[in-house]
């Protein structure tokens, strides 16, 4: 069974996104630990990329700060190895296909498996082209996580039926970032998903407040928050772990 399932075993899951290396890898490690100890059930670790097309200005800024700070994929693997000594919740990488291609897909994914990464999210990888990575992921026991967007429409059932790990449901059109209101008919999307798979689904993009998280958790099996966490890191820098921990606890309390 997928290790990612563990994140959804005790009620609604809170999935936190953190850009590795913003402001530095030492802070990233401390933030991961603070999130895990305050109720995060799964953590998405963002590998910075120079052209993060799915990201809004907040996460784009984090990518650029991390890259300017000298973060590399190898350094991020070393970070994972170190945090895996005492962080046992599922971890997934979120990055772009180009990052994996340039590293070498076989080398990258086998390293994910040996260092304790449970899944991989590639937002720029079209569902129809996932075969390029799927075989290598399966051979290494790493879940290739699919995304469903409001534009997926008649493809939702197909994507759901082939899902692994968890399904990432994109709440709104456009890029990541906090939104005052989410107007997509997510209930219908989730109903279609549930008819076609027993894989859990989580809603991301635009969620930032405990109230929004609670509302989304009533529709799906979990919620994903990134930009609101990155804003805390941007504001507090190396002092951020404590504040991220408090924020994670407030979200987890709201959805529990």
Instruction: Name the pTM for this structure.
Output: 0.93
Cα separation, 219 vs 238, whole angstroms = 35
Ordered structural domains, the chain, with CATH: 3-146+222-250 (3.20.20.70)
CA dihedral 126, 128, 129, 131 (to 10 degrees): 130
3-state helix, strand, coil in the chain (%, to 5): 50, 15, 35
Instruction: For residue 63, give the nearest of 54, 51, 78 by alpha carbon.
Output: 51
**For residues 120 and 137, what is the distance between their CA atoms, to the nearest angstrom?**
8
Residues 17 and 44 sit within 8 Å (Cβ to Cβ): yes
With b for 16 or more beta-carbon neighbours within 10 A and e for fewer, the 191-208 pattern comes to ebbeebbebbbbbbbbbb
pLDDT by residue for the chain (256 residues), tens only, comes to 589 999 999 899 999 999 999 999 999 999 999 999 999 999 999 999 887 666 778 898 999 999 999 999 999 999 999 999 999 999 999 999 999 999 999 999 999 999 999 999 999 999 989 999 999 999 999 999 999 988 887 899 999 999 999 999 998 754 444 444 554 689 999 999 999 999 999 999 889 999 999 999 999 999 999 999 999 999 999 999 999 999 999 999 999 9
């Amino acid at each position: 069974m997928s290790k990612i399932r563990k994140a959804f075993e005790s009620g609604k899951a809170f999935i936190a996104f953190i850009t590795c290396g913003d402001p530095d890898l030492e802070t990233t490690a401390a933030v991961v630990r603070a999130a895990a100890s305050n109720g995060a059930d799964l953590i998405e670790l963002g590998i910075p990329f120079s052209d993060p097309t799915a990201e809004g200005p907040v996460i784009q800024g984090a990518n650029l700060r991390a890259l300017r700070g000298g973060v590399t994929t190898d350094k991020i693997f070393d970070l994972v190895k170190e945090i895996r000594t005492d962080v046992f919740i599922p971890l997934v990488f979120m990055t772009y296909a180009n990052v994996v291609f340039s590293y070498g897909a076989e080398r990258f994914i086998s390293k994910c498996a040996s260092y304790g990464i449970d899944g991989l999210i590639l937002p720029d990888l079209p569902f129809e082209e996932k075969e390029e990575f799927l075989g290598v992921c399966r051979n290494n026991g790493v879940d290739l996580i699919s995304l469903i967007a409001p534009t997926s429409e008649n493809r939702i059932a197909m994507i759901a039926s082939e899902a692994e790990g968890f399904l990432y449901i994109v709440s709104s059109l456009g890029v990541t970032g906090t939104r005052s209101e989410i107007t997509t008919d997510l209930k219908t999307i989730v109903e279609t998903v549930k008819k076609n798979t027993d894989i859990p689904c989580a809603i991301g993009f635009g969620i930032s407040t405990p109230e929004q998280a609670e509302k989304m958790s009533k529709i799906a099996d979990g919620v994903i928050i990134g930009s609101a966490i990155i804003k805390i890191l941007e504001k507090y820098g190396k002092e951020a772990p404590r504040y991220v921990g408090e924020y994670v606890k407030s979200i987890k309390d709201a959805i529990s």
